[in-house]
Amino acid sequence: MEIVNVEHLTKVFPLKKRLFSKEQPYVRAVDEISFTIEKGKILGLVGESGCGKTTIAKLLVRLLHPTGGKISIRGKDIADLRGEKLKKFRKNIQMIFQDPYESLNPRLTIHSTIAEPLIAQGLYSPEKIHEALEVVGLKPPEGFFYRYPHELSGGQRQRVAIARALVIEPIFVVADEPTSMLDVSIRAGVLNLMLALKKRFELTVLFVTHDLAVARYMCDDIAVMHRGKIVEIGNAEDVIQNPKHSYTKALLSAVPIPNPKAKRKRIRAREKVICI
């Protein structure tokens, strides 16, 4: 069953106009993107910085308004929703942000932070906050209620961010590089947690990352982006082991591998490139 269906999604940003010119230059950050995500699956959106993947993440949670195209969540197009209708629909789509330091309000306690989405959607109950913290592994929850973000470690903060995203029981979650700012040994824990939660709550996820190795670990399918377009999309193992597009191949060949023997073969095969 399709949960997410994106068709010809486009977003342009205006650039600074030249002083006496009538033309308004713009950049196509997202250029006619289409993809679907089935229920319970994780789609990885992979690419380098500036390729548009974060813009797509923001479009899907309607932090940005698309310039064109459709975003259908369970059949309903949310691309042009506004006001009350948009607010009601927000219950179904949530986001986990990249920076564990910046995604929590430094002046709110953990309890208040998790309560906010519940209050906004009219679903508040103290039990839900308790359960949310337990589910992400912050035990005992009471010990975390009245603490502030700066008292927590990066990994704990990210767990709070996950709890906040899941507390209103969305059907679709967008994760924007959720572990790239965490220490490596903490990363594994958070990634495994996300996989477990996806399974338990049958979540549909869009996982944005620049790290192909993480994408391979987490995702069922992978879409590779370059300059606002999807250049290759398919089953994760397929894309990784048998890349078809030249950009995907270039990207894969550049990923460092934690195995000294494997890498030595590759270095000899590459040529030096002069930057102009």
Where in 217-246 is the site for another protein (CB under 8 A)? 217, 237, 240
Q: Count of CB atoms within 10 A of residue 68's CB? A: 14
**Distance from chain centroid for Cα 92:** 15
Nearest 5°: phi and psi at 206? -110, 115
Residue 159 in contact with another protein, rule: CB under 8 A: no
Nearer to another protein, 8 or 88 (CB): 88
- Containing 264, the helix (H) or strand (E) segment is helix 260-269
| Geometric angle at alpha carbon 269, from 268 and 273, rounded to 5° | 95
Q: Which residue in the set 61, 194, 225, 230 belongs to the binding site for another protein (CB under 8 A)?
A: 61
Residue 90 in contact with another protein, rule: CB under 8 A: yes
Q: What does the alpha-carbon distance between residue 69 and residue 218 come to, in Å, rounded to a whole number? A: 28
Instruction: State the angle between helix axes of 154-166 and 126-135 in degrees (0 to 180), rounded to the nearest 10.
Output: 130
Residue 54 in contact with another protein, rule: CB under 8 A: no
Stretch that binds another protein, among 1-9, 10-18, 72-80, 254-262 (CB under 8 A): 254-262
- Residue 218 CB, shortest distance to another protein, in Å, is 8
Stretch that binds another protein, among 26-34, 67-75, 196-204, 255-263 (CB under 8 A): 255-263
Residue 212 in contact with another protein, rule: CB under 8 A: yes
What string marks each residue from 172 to 211 as x (binds another protein by CB under 8 A) or -? -----------xxxxxxx-xx-----------------x-
Q: What does the alpha-carbon distance between residue 65 and residue 139 come to, in Å, rounded to a whole number? A: 39
218, amino acid identity: M
Q: Which residue in the set 101, 142, 244, 249 belongs to the binding site for another protein (CB under 8 A)?
A: 101
